[in-house]
Structure 1
Amino acid sequence: MLQDEAEFLAGYDAQGYDRPSVAVDLVLMSIVDGAPAALLVRRDEHPHAGSWALPGGFVSVDEDLDSAARRVLADKAHMDGAYVEQLYTFGALERDPRMRVISVAYFALLPADRFAAALEADPALSLARITMPGDGKAQAAGKHGRLSLAFDHAEILGVAMQRLRGKIDYSSLAFALLPERFTLRALQDVHEAILGQSLNKSAFRRRMLDRGWLEPTGERETGASFRPAELFRFRPIIPNA
């Protein structure tokens, strides 16, 4: 006779299966000096002591993944209020030399000024320039040259960059990297930084205007040496009910 579920669970041996550890890693990206950049933290203990890593941590048995991501955002990245969403799950067998660790990467795009307080609060943090040399893995560089990335974080950053490049042309994600009011030149700069290539000015502007995402503010930028450019704001398109 089949026992009921309560009896089954009462006698279930949870030690009968291996339990891999689960971690979350945060890919917090911006555009700095015309190039993609990501928040990294310098590791001060083994493994990979002295290398740079994405802010991350292990998931406790009493918290869900999103809660763990928010905790790491506050404790390791010294930020709050940023919306992060799941990017990808990384589970290569030897990605962590300590033990079997599966990491769920979370992703967020933020204007560069959102990182100022975090960088000031923790000298171990760096907003590092990210490049894609072509092998699917990203490279990071700081003020003094290339940074060594811990674990498989070069791969995680590579997936993030590929996701950005794949979505930038048809989605509104570029606006997350801009202030509330921006010029068309600034919007094109963001697209070029992510794609790693120059775009035709006239064609780009026509495409952006035709999509209906841009709302003129009636204002112009200040401090320009030539004719000040018009300022726009992002206008989300709400589908008909």
Structure 2
Amino acid sequence: MSKKDAAIHKRQQIEQSSRVMFLWVAGASVIVGFALVISWFLVQQIIFKERVLGEKNNTAAVLKNNNDAVEKLRGELKVLETNSHLNASRINNDEKALQVVLDALPAEDNALALGASLQSKLVNGVAGVSLDSLNIDQTDDSESSGSTGAAASNGNLQSIHFTMEVSASNPNALRELLQRFERSIRVIEIDRMTIERTDSKVAMKISAHAYYSPAKTIELKKKDIKP
């Protein structure tokens, strides 16, 4: 074999070795790339599973705390049922003591119930007092006293406003009516009051408001966790 042929053969071997080396390097790069992609996917799945387990643990903790709070609340309600002041304030002996609390702070702005209570339990309970007019406004009154806003913003209390005009020939009857407002189970605050006297009677105009606390709703929520 001549020197020229030997050089050509050697060059061919070098080129063949280079191609083989390139194929090996390319194959190894593909394998490493797949390994990195699979590793990253597995890491994401592990992180996602950890987040799901964390949310499940939080939910379980909330449910446990709620169950513990329910048992504590039941015990407190049983104690309230034996409260002497609540039992003494019942309308009749067939009612439970907790009904007094519900009557004092209803869960809705029932204008009809408030009007009936004002007329039957307060005004009609005082001899000689005549109810001339009664208007109940379920919208907020911007001219209410400062205590109204403070109370309404504390504990999510809402107010229902009303105006009434009463008259009596004896001023002491109107005084007794105001005392009934003070002793009322339901909290009633008088914002404005005017008294006018004529030859035959004394007329009193009252602008006041009562409170109610909207009922709380408990619902289960669904939370989606994305990878």
- Going by fraction, where is strand more abundant, 1 or 2? 1
TM more than 0.5: no
**TM-score normalised by the chain length of structure 2:** 0.25
- Going by fraction, where is helix more abundant, 1 or 2? 2
**TM-score normalised by the chain length of structure 1:** 0.24
